[in-house]
Amino acid sequence: MTSDYTQVFRDTEAVEKYESVTYAPDSYASKINDRQRDYLRELVRREFEGHHPPVHHDFACGTGRAIRTLHGLVREAHGYDTSAEMMAKAAEVGSRAYWHRVAVDGPVPAPVAAGFPAIVTVFRLLLNVDETVRDRALAFAAKALPHRGSGVLVVENHGNAGSVRHLRARRHHGERWFAELSHEEVAALLDRHGFEIVERRGFSMLTPSLHDHRLARLADAAARRLPGTDGYAVNVLYTARRVHA
């Protein structure tokens, strides 16, 4: 959602690489995506049981991974992104949604008035942008979820500072591609926009470099079954509700 992001993903080859290489079958990213899909579908069934199906607002939607995750569980979906090429790819690969191109800066984009309840997702964004854009994303979420009963927000942190990934922080200090956020920093960001975390779930203790090691994958699967290990996962989802304006 920075100008760099928009410039990079105006290149159709970069968009294709993101979709077909980064998220290739059995890749590190696709395995985490599969786990997130199971969790999110269960979350929506649980949170909105007895209600009308929610509307889905996906901010920084990219190629529509989060939108595809919730196919069949929402009454309609809206994807918002600065890159028209990413949204075109999302539609091409079968993401069913209304697409909305948003400006890189200026006033906070307004979500489509599609009613409540709603689920807002912000995936794979926080580490890729500066604090100004993080605040922009959360301000959008606050518009979409104006009060506690509006629905839920799910935010991804794919570089938890409390995970084994942090061991590489000193080596890569100052390198733009390497960023991390602690649970406390994510909680502070959410609180600044009137949200509180009601659930936290981790999806891998491994970094991508360990993904191809069979023993490491077995250890990761065992660790994820243990209570209290979510706080040490590399990739974490936070579910939040609006508590104050």
Q: Which residues of the chain carry a pLDDT beneath 50?
A: 1-3, 8
Question: CB neighbours of 198 closer than 8 A, spacing ≥ 6?
Answer: 152, 239, 240, 241
Picking from 142, 224, 242, 234, the residue whose alpha carbon sits closest to that of residue 181 is: 234
Per-residue pLDDT tens digits for 169-178: 556 555 565 6
What are residue 153's DSSP bridge partners?
A: 120, 240
Please measure the distance between the N-terminal and C-terminal CA atoms of the chain and give it in whole angstroms: 25
Task: Break the chain into its structural domains and give their ranges.
Answer: 5-105+114-242
- CATH number, span 5-105+114-242: 3.40.50.150
Per-residue pLDDT tens digits for 120-137: 999 999 998 899 999 999
Per-residue pLDDT tens digits for 2-30: 445 555 455 566 667 666 667 778 788 88
